[in-house]
A and B are shown apart, each in its own frame.
Chain A
Amino acid sequence: MSRIYEIMYLLDNNAVRAGWKEAKAAATALIEKHGGKVLAARRWDERKLAYTIRQRRRGTYLLAYGELEAAGVATLRRELDLTESVLRYLILQVESVPPQELELTRAESAAGFVVPPPPAEDVPEAEEEYEEVEDESALEEASAPAGELAEEEV
């Protein structure tokens, strides 16, 4: 017996930058590969993550609904664990697909709908540290003259 599941993907922005259609197709193809049927799939959001996941500060969320067998869910989970472009996923069983999701999916797949590309401010950890070091040296320079002044006043 197959059930309807809500599958939320957190996709790597590097994979999304190569093309949203391709990234979405790759994610939904996994559902079909494990004996499922995709009922709806759309870009939910692109946002800053609350904490870094695999050195990523931002990510794109894909919300999909699919009909799967219980055995298919288990194998899908196993494959998602191994998929590099999927940072996190969440599979929940739902009663039915919300009607507005079907509408939004239709709107996204319609011609002329432009999915905005993710912003490029996903800075790797190493670069950030380098910037911080620069700031510290600037701070020291700024504080040194202030200290001299204080001494003069005394």
Chain B
Amino acid sequence: MGFEQRDRGDRGDRFEIPTYEKVKAKDEDLDYKNVELLKKCIGGQGQMFSRRRTGLSAQRQRMLKKALKRARHMGLLPFVD
């Protein structure tokens, strides 16, 4: 994890936002059975990563949400670790 400098436009001041390595899931099937991929999209306590961290489109992030919740129900992934 690093930091990226961002400009606040006409106010002139700069601020830092953290940058993360994106989960490379562009062409992969976002399915509850794809546990290895879903594992990359959850944090140490089992929480789902935001779009900023997964790098997915809004539509595919929703698919990820569904897949993750299904995997949790089946005992494949933790609700809280």
List A2-56 residues whose CB lies under 8 Å from chain B.
8, 10, 44, 47, 49-51, 53
Q: Which residues of B contact A50 (CB under 8 A)?
A: 72, 75-79, 81
Do A90 and B75 have beta carbons less than 8 Å apart? no
A66 within 8 A of B: no
Do A51 and B78 have beta carbons less than 8 Å apart? yes
Question: Which partner residue on chain B sits nearest A53 by CB separation?
Answer: B75
Question: Known contacts being A44-B33, A90-B32, is A51 close to B74, with CB within 8 Å?
Answer: no
Q: Which residues of A contact B60 (CB under 8 A)?
A: none
The majority secondary structure among interface residues of chain A is: strand
List A75-122 residues whose CB lies under 8 Å from chain B.
87-88, 90, 92
Do B74 and A88 have beta carbons less than 8 Å apart? yes
Q: How many residues of B contact A (CB 8 A)?
A: 12
Do A10 and B74 have beta carbons less than 8 Å apart? yes
Q: Which residues of A contact B73 (CB under 8 A)?
A: 88, 90
Do A10 and B75 have beta carbons less than 8 Å apart? yes
A45 to B: closest C-beta gap in Å? 9
A63-B33 Cα distance, complex, nearest whole Å? 10
Do B78 and A61 have beta carbons less than 8 Å apart? no
Do A8 and B74 have beta carbons less than 8 Å apart? yes
Q: Which residues of A contact B75 (CB under 8 A)?
A: 10, 49-51, 53, 59, 87-88
B51 within 8 A of A: no
Q: Which residues of B contact A49 (CB under 8 A)?
A: 75-76
Q: Which residues of B contact A51 (CB under 8 A)?
A: 75, 78-79
Do B70 and A90 have beta carbons less than 8 Å apart? yes
A47-B73 Cα distance, complex, nearest whole Å? 15
A13 to B: closest C-beta gap in Å? 12
7 shortest interchain CB distances as A-B pairs? A49-B75, A50-B78, A50-B77, A88-B74, A50-B75, A53-B75, A51-B78
- A interface residues with partner B (beta carbon < 8 Å): 8, 10, 44, 47, 49-51, 53, 59, 61, 63, 87-88, 90, 92
6 residue pairs bridging A and B, Cβ less than 8 Å apart: A49-B76, A51-B75, A51-B79, A59-B75, A88-B75, A90-B74
